[in-house]
Structure 1
């Protein structure tokens, strides 16, 4: 396994504990009924999701055997309860899950056993790899649990409110050229769908400086864009008609104004924040109406990672290689939601593109496909089953953890998903 980043056991344990703290902060306030929640296709029961985190950590850190065999779990029938590859989504509300106290005890027992293993064999490269995998997996579920709180109208997670920063309009001309798309094999942890960097040619293009704002998207809605078949693909129109969608999810009219539901609060739609809770079909329809297009994956990464007149330079983040801060990106749930599209100027890419990391995930034009020479990682269900059926999103959102995101990170959802914290930016035709 050549892609293992060698870290000390204490560093990996710290990452695991930080992720666990965030998980517990998202669920500790739930009532008994909310731990199970309603049966919906786009969320998991929080009780199942939290238990799954313990199962995943135990499966990869404690139970790995020879030739793919698994040692027994600390919890009876754990695989039948929590293995997401075996347990269908619709079954997860009907399983004989441990209660909240039993679920949290299982997580604590697994963590104690992992700590003991670290004390015994913390330098094992394979263990370090799987510790990182488990920490990142839990961070992804923290984001999913934040989506769940929004979907179900639970109170928002705590966060600081930031001053208005306004809009930031216009396009940036990007020269294009040949560059390496994907992750460089430098020994740091990456997921299999990022592997490996390979040369692609990008033609010159013009990209919007910021994501599409609520004000810009509202113009499309007010112009009757959701009722006009001209702007929609065949699949997009079928989705819109089936859903009866007439505006972004959570928007509704109040006289002459648009309001939205954000967690358990109804408020005016903030004009200068990015349009969010729009799916790929809605983004593509807006583009047709506006005479624009979604960027390709390669264009997005080129704009985020390359530096004008310095071929061969590729940054980890749009602003450089320094870790994200609140000045460069809206991540970590720090703001409790989106900030204006004009915010985070210190995080501009070398081309002058803003908010390519954080605030909202950005839909791209491309289907999720493997890079040349793809080889799946041990967590085989992460990427491979979804190739060809999901669209690629880039950049992270306000609920994404800083340790999880970078310029090469590829997220992916089916084009009908509106519940995720996703928006889009555009390119000129």
Structure 2
């Protein structure tokens, strides 16, 4: 593994803390608790839990410090506290919760300023990324609950480019190393380790599916025709009673999309978002396409062609555009856009094969169930990956609120096939 930088992690922790405060700012006590739903947590609980994660793993487990609160385990341990019980906990006031969050941050910053400690740095980086993931969850919670858009203190970036980008790219077959290597400074257990897979030649869309693309499926009555859905998907479709994506509606002035608490005209060229795996599969059947496998997705994002273009080069990119960290012209990341942009934007982020926006804008569903790589062993937080093996589907690439410091080509996330509340879209492959 590479060597982490404690000063960088400290700045990231401060930034993640500031983002949390911005994402809950302006919400009433009632909104911070929110309704009891299976897909969201009470924000009042969740922000305390994210701070507790730093305290438990870095300060207590590694450094042996005493708990800052005697009741912290009973309040914030997500492993032992069932989801539905989180609304019933005797949570401290928000003022006390803010104080606890600040106490934890202050101690984390103090310990990161001390002598070099690789284990401490690994755990602190883990906790920052854990908070980044929760910050993304706070964002979709605001969308789910019809709350106002958060104010993030910076104007929305100007998307570089617009419109659509039609067609597929052809990708040659060959041997490919799927997963992360030990040269990475930090990886999660489900990315370990790179292992050879054989890839057959395939064709994949240059962009994710746009709203206009999917509107064709909707207006063709795709949600009413069982032939496009497998049995599980059709059951979901009937139970959801949807006839279009969850945040769409048809008005007298045309199709609209809800973004937080505002209904706006449906941006036809923007990437489709907030659709579940079942919806993605149904669209593919209607369109005569398919979802990429997880390995195909990573090949399209990170591989390069050989000199003759007939097979895959051994070289693998960390990001679609190369190995340099994401810059503002590469991808729609970090949340400031407050939504998706046109699928034709950000040409500087193209992969070696010409696929656009494989990082940022929308998480992309793949065909595969989430599972372990060969030789998998869980990391210190044993419940991060393995409880979800076999029951969830893999998504890749990050979305508009995903932090650029966290995402890369080998990153894997996972949700149940019925989740249409998360920031997910998809791209397709030719059959």
The two structures have a TM-score, normalised by structure 1, of 0.96
1:137 aligns with 2:126: no
**Aligned partners of 1:51 and 1:71: how far apart in 2?**
18
| Number of the residue aligned with 1:162 | 158
Q: Secondary structure at the match of 2:177?
A: strand
Q: Give, in angstroms, the shift of residue 72 of structure 1.
A: 4.0
Consecutive unaligned residues of structure 1, counting only runs of 5 or more, are none
Aligned with 1:279 (options 276, 280, 283): 276
Report Cα offsets for 1:153-172 as digits up to 9, x if no partner.
Answer: 11113451636701111011
1:228 aligns with 2:225: yes
How many residues matched?
Answer: 422
Distance 1:65 1:115, change over 3 A: closer
| Number of the residue aligned with 2:182 | 185
Q: Secondary structure at the match of 1:62?
A: helix
| Number of the residue aligned with 1:149 | 142
**Aligned partners of 2:357 and 2:62: how far apart in 1?**
43
Aligned with 1:24 (options 21, 25, 43): 21
Structure 1 stretch displaced more, 415-424 or 8-17: 8-17
Q: Give, in angstroms, the shift of residue 109 of structure 1.
A: 1.2
1:376 aligns with 2:400: no
**Aligned partners of 1:362 and 1:114: how far apart in 2?**
34
Aligned with 1:88 (options 40, 61, 82): 82
**Aligned partners of 1:340 and 1:187: how far apart in 2?**
31
Answer whether contact 1:364 1:391 (CA < 8 A) is retained.
yes
Aligned with 1:104 (options 98, 110, 114): 98
| Number of the residue aligned with 1:171 | 168
Aligned with 1:115 (options 103, 109, 116): 109
Aligned structure 1 segments of 4 or more residues deviating by more than 3 angstroms: 161-164
Answer whether contact 1:161 1:336 (CA < 8 A) is retained.
no
**Aligned partners of 2:44 and 2:198: how far apart in 1?**
47
Structure 1 stretch displaced more, 180-189 or 155-164: 155-164
Structure 1 stretch displaced more, 326-335 or 346-355: 326-335
Q: Secondary structure at the match of 1:402?
A: coil
**Aligned partners of 1:9 and 1:175: how far apart in 2?**
41
**Aligned partners of 2:124 and 2:172: how far apart in 1?**
41
1:395 aligns with 2:397: yes
Answer whether contact 1:363 1:422 (CA < 8 A) is retained.
yes
| Number of the residue aligned with 1:312 | 314
| Number of the residue aligned with 1:386 | 388
Answer whether contact 1:162 1:339 (CA < 8 A) is retained.
no
Q: Give, in angstroms, the shift of residue 9 of structure 1.
A: 2.7
Report Cα offsets for 1:10-31 as digits up to 9, x if no partner.
Answer: 2221111111111111112212
Q: Secondary structure at the match of 2:61?
A: coil
Aligned with 1:328 (options 327, 330, 339): 330
| Number of the residue aligned with 2:59 | 62
Answer whether contact 2:60 2:67 (CA < 8 A) is retained.
yes
1:178-327 matched pairs, under 5 angstroms = 178-255=175-252, 257-309=254-306, 311-327=313-329
Answer whether contact 1:19 1:135 (CA < 8 A) is retained.
yes
Report Cα offsets for 1:250-297 as digits up to 9, x if no partner.
Answer: 111113721111101101111000111100000000000000000000
Q: Secondary structure at the match of 2:44?
A: helix
Distance 1:182 1:8, change over 3 A: closer
Distance 1:80 1:282, change over 3 A: same
**Aligned partners of 1:133 and 1:377: how far apart in 2?**
11
**Aligned partners of 2:320 and 2:351: how far apart in 1?**
4
Aligned with 1:344 (options 346, 361, 385): 346
Structure 1 stretch displaced more, 329-338 or 287-296: 329-338
1:39-50 matched pairs, under 5 angstroms = 39-50=36-47
The two structures have a TM-score, normalised by structure 2, of 0.95
